Amino acid sequence: MEGAELSPVDIDPDFEPQARPRSCTWPLPRPELSVVTPTAGTPTAEEGRAEAPPLPNEGPGVTPRKGGSRRNAWGNQSYAELISQAIESSPEKRLTLAQIYDWMVRSIPYFKDKGDSNSSAGWKNSIRHNLSLHSKFIKVHNEATGKSSWWMLNPEGGKSGKAPRRRAASMDNSSKLAKARNNKASKKKAQGPGEPPAGSPGSQSSKWPGSPSQSTDDPEVWTSFRSRTGSNASNLSLRLSPILTEQDDAPDDDLHSSLSFSDNVPPTVSEELELIDGLTMLSPGAAPLPAPQSMLQTPPGFSMRPAQSLSFGNSLFSPISPVSSHFPRPQTLEALLTSDSPPPSNVLMSQVDPVLGQSGGQNLLLLGGQNKIRSPEHPRVPPAPPNSLPLLGLPPLLSMPLPRPHSFPTVSERLPTDLDIDMFLENLECDVDYIINNDLMDEGGLDFNFEPLHPGNTPSNNHSWLPS
DNA sequence: AAACTTAAACAAA
DNA sequence: TTTGTTTAAGTTT
């Protein structure tokens, strides 16, 4: 693309702050011609990826300006372009906000002396603003502890496309993506407890931005699983699997596209998501917690298992210990930690993980939601769009006959070839049972009656594992 | 009018 | 505080 070999912002000799009524001050009328030095220091370069590619940069290319005048103090590039360059210059095509800042300071002469907090407020604000505003940038959850999100270029282009303010009759993909991230806006201002901002997209559920593989996925669908409040549930958000990252170079757009959802999302989905969104916050699972200790506090049945950070910390579901259906209940934490036969194809899992992730999360939600929380109107599983992979709301994986509005095809029907998924489902199933038995039934507060619904074809009909 | 930059209010972590 | 999201206003093309 653009990144040809461009000098960091060519400094043209004639450069002069030419009339720019703008109130803004130009601290550095004439940027030192210093060549972008990788700033030996910059240890900040997170995760050692520091070896920042010295200088990317644009040059003559992008936005050739006719006159010798430059549009901005640093050249003719817009913030968006600079950010794009920064991201592209990174080996993995992704950077955290801090890294972007760092790149700016190191690569663009104009910002060289503006790295300190004092002089940086303004442009950093603009950077952030641009990242959020343009659909060409997508935010990806950063697995690393305490790290901010990765920012990547929207594989789909997203172009300079601006995020549409509201739902339009027809949106192109990038717009939709943008929209997805947009919908979060709503609840900000003007929220009188009971008055949804009229005319604003307010009533929509919050969305979370896509993943690199989200390209054509309908953000509406799985984007919405991000908790409005940014609770743990937001960790369901996709993570960049190492594998995917590596393939990043390859045109994986198509690949992802093939996994994508259709563009149509039934109107009800939004509402649906609202509900789920709410439930999400109630779900203790789905939080790839970096700190193992914290997991000890979580209900044993849920997927927060320390082990996940080991071999497949990048797959949203892999964390669940492969407990076979013969061992319905995780015996002990130790057991969980030791039973670690990794799924055969972590690769595949990683690739679809965003989608599966949503499904899985949703499932847990449905489980919890329907049985212990609300759902007076029994949340419907959003009808999976035709070519959608498994949004398939894995409901079927719940071996126990929870009251469900729909009946779904069996897992094997839908995923005839994906053993990993089956395995995963099995695991989940076990967890669910365990939860039901230990966390719910023991409470005595719920009145489950499984038998009637299982006329005897239950795999483990004797329920010998049930706590007596 | 669209694309940008700059500011700033706010929220979440 | 930092990171993100939005809204708003002023400029430039």
- Lookup: nucleotide whose C1' is closest to A139 CA: C4
Q: Are A8 and A35 in contact (CB under 8 A)?
A: yes
Task: Give the count of alpha carbons within 13 A of A333, CB side only.
Answer: 13
pLDDT at A88: 92
pLDDT, one tens digit per residue, over A389-443 is 333 333 333 333 333 333 333 333 333 333 333 333 333 433 434 333 444 333 3
Most confident of A16-30, A63-77, A278-292, A315-329: A63-77
- Total domain count for chain A? 1
Q: Is A156 left (phi over 0), alpha (psi -120 to 50) or beta?
A: alpha
Instruction: Confirm whether A220 is domain-assigned.
Output: no
**A112 part of a folded domain:** yes
| Domain annotation covers residue A108 | yes
CATH of the domain at A110: 1.10.10.10
Residues 199-238 of A with CB under 7 A from strand B: 227-231, 234
pLDDT digits (tens, 9 = 90+) for A194-217: 333 333 333 333 333 333 333 333
Residue A94 phi, psi (nearest 5):
-160, 145
Question: Is residue A17 a part of any domain in this protein?
Answer: no
Does a structural domain hold residue A27? no
Find the residue closest to B7 using CA and C1' atoms.
A122
pLDDT at residue A159, rounded to an integer: 58
Task: Read off the pLDDT of each residue in A105-126 and give the average, rounded to a whole number.
Answer: 85
Find the domain containing A111 and state its range: 79-153
**pLDDT given for residue A78 in this prediction:** 93
Task: State whether the beta carbon of A438 lies below 7 angstroms from any atom of strand B.
Answer: no
Of the candidates A382, A392, A371, A378, the one whose C-alpha atom is nearest the C-alpha of residue A440 is A371
User: Which pLDDT belongs to residue A333?
Assistant: 32
Per-residue pLDDT of A258-291, as tens digits, reads 333 333 333 334 344 344 433 433 333 333 333 3
- By C1' distance from the Cα of A122, the closest nucleotide is B6
Percent of chain A's residues with pLDDT above 70: 18
pLDDT at A40: 31
Q: Would the Cβ of A266 be found within 7 angstroms of any atom in strand B?
A: no
Q: How far is the CA of A313 from the C1' of C1 (A)?
A: 29
Residue A74, pLDDT above cutoff 50: yes
pLDDT-based confidence at residue A155 (cuts at 50, 70, 90):
confident
The whole-chain average pLDDT of chain A stands at 45
| Measured distance CA(A353)–CA(A357) in Å, rounded | 5
In a domain, A83, yes or no: yes
Q: Does any domain span residue A429?
A: no
In a domain, A372, yes or no: no
Residues whose CB is less than 8 angstroms from the CB of residue A39 and which lie 6 or more positions away in sequence, other chains included: A105, A106
Give the pLDDT score at A72.
87
* Average of per-residue pLDDT across A216-239: 34
Instruction: State yes or no: pLDDT of A98 exceeds 80.
Output: yes
